[in-house]
């Protein structure tokens, strides 16, 4: 039995049908005998829509209020996902960044994670429940919500996986892994079955938008294996493993 952290991006939870599909996938992983903690992003374009609404009201909104607003997106998806798991006959508890113990510095909109103390998440897992955590958010020393910068849920997932001592951090998106180029723009792009942390960082430096930079740096620093894959298929995706770790030792690849 392994401890698996699964991160579902906005494209995987874009509407309620997608949330039900993701719930079934989480339950399937649990039924294979694994403990599952989930990090979820806001549904579809929710974060962009919230920003548009804010700018419609105030062209220069206070940073604190922007983060208060933007953290709401993940709160919607996490609770709907917990309900979908409940409706499918299993147990889940959702947690905000604060409840999951994500402590950050004070930089609203671009906060850095200082520590993760996920006691509530551990307690939920010990009860046999799925723990669902709002990505992209934490709290500063004042107790106010902060966000980690766009795409920050990838970093939340890796940080949670490290804090829990997970065996693998699976990043679910809408394509079958990391490709040689954006497969939506370059149809001939090929999936890369295995890639190093350094190679992803090089791809990002060349402008490729695959994973949040900080997520890859964090994963490399703490030797956390990543599996980037699609939530729309069951095909293996792209494995990113620390040196010396055998792909055969990674759970839930098939």
Ligand X SMILES: Nc1ncnc2c1ncn2[C@@H]1O[C@H](COP(=O)(O)OP(=O)(O)O)[C@@H](O)[C@H]1O
Sequence-separated contacts (24+) of 216-221 with Cβ below 8 Å: 216/240, 218/155, 218/158, 218/159, 218/162, 219/158, 219/169
Pairwise CA distance, residues 33 & 207, whole Å: 39
Q: Give the one residue of 95, 108, 136, 179 binding ligand X; rule: CB under 6 A.
A: 179
CB of 46 to ligand PHD, least distance (A): 7
* 136: partner contacted, choices ligand X, ligand PHD, none (Cβ within 5-8 A by kind): ligand PHD
For 199, the 3-state DSSP assignment is helix
* 18: partner contacted, choices ligand X, ligand PHD, none (Cβ within 5-8 A by kind): none
CB of 6 to ligand PHD, least distance (A): 12
* 152: partner contacted, choices ligand X, ligand PHD, none (Cβ within 5-8 A by kind): ligand PHD
The nearer residue to ligand X, 104 or 156, going by C-beta atoms, is: 156
Candidate ranges 15-23, 85-93, 97-105, 204-212; the one touching ligand X (CB under 6 A): 204-212
- The bridge status of strand 226-230 relative to strand 168-173 is parallel
Residues contacting residue 19 through CB under 8 Å, at least 6 positions apart:
13, 43, 77, 80, 81, 84
Q: Give the one residue of 4, 9, 36, 178 binding ligand PHD; rule: CB under 6 A.
A: 9
The nearer residue to ligand X, 11 or 29, going by C-beta atoms, is: 11
Rule CB under 6 A: is residue 47 a binding residue for ligand PHD?
A: yes
Locate tokens 């951090």: which residue? 169
Give the footprint of ligand PHD on residues 128-167 (CB under 6 A): 135-136, 150-153
Give the footprint of ligand X on residues 12-51 (CB under 6 A): 12, 41
Q: Give the one residue of 175, 219, 240, 241 binding ligand X; rule: CB under 6 A.
A: 175
Dihedral, 246, 248, 253, 254 alpha carbons, nearest 10:
150
Sequence-separated contacts (24+) of 196-200 with Cβ below 8 Å: 196/240, 197/240, 197/242, 200/240
For 149, the 3-state DSSP assignment is coil
Which chain residues interact with ligand PHD by CB under 6 A?
9-10, 41-42, 47, 73, 135-136, 150-153
């Amino acid at each position: 039995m392994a401890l698996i952290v699964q991160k579902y991006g906005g494209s995987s939870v874009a509407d309620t049908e997608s949330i039900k599909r993701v719930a079934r996938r989480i339950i399937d992983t649990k039924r294979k005998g694994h403990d599952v903690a989930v990090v979820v992003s806001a549904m579809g374009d929710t974060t962009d829509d919230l920003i548009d609404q804010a700018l419609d009201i105030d062209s220069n909104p206070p940073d604190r209020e922007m983060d208060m607003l933007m953290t709401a997106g993940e709160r919607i998806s996490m609770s709907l996902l917990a309900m979908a798991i409940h409706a499918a006959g299993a147990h889940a508890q959702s947690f905000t960044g604060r409840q999951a113990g994500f402590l950050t510095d004070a930089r609203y909109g671009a906060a850095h994670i200082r520590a993760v103390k996920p006691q509530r998440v551990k307690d939920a897992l010990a009860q046999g429940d799925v723990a669902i955590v709002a990505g992209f958010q934490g709290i500063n020393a004042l107790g106010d919500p902060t966000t980690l910068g766009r795409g920050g849920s990838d970093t939340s997932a890796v940080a949670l996986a490290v804090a829990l001592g997970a065996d693998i951090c699976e990043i679910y998106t809408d394509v079958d892994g990391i490709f040689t180029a954006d497969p939506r723009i370059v149809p001939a792009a090929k999936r890369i079955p295995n890639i190093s942390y350094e190679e992803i960082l090089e791809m990002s430096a060349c402008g490729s938008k695959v994973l949040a930079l900080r997520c890859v740096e964090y994963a490399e620093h703490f030797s956390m294996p990543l599996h980037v894959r699609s939530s729309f298929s069951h095909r293996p995706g792209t494995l990113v493993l620390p040196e010396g770790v055998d792909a055969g030792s990674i759970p839930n690849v098939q």
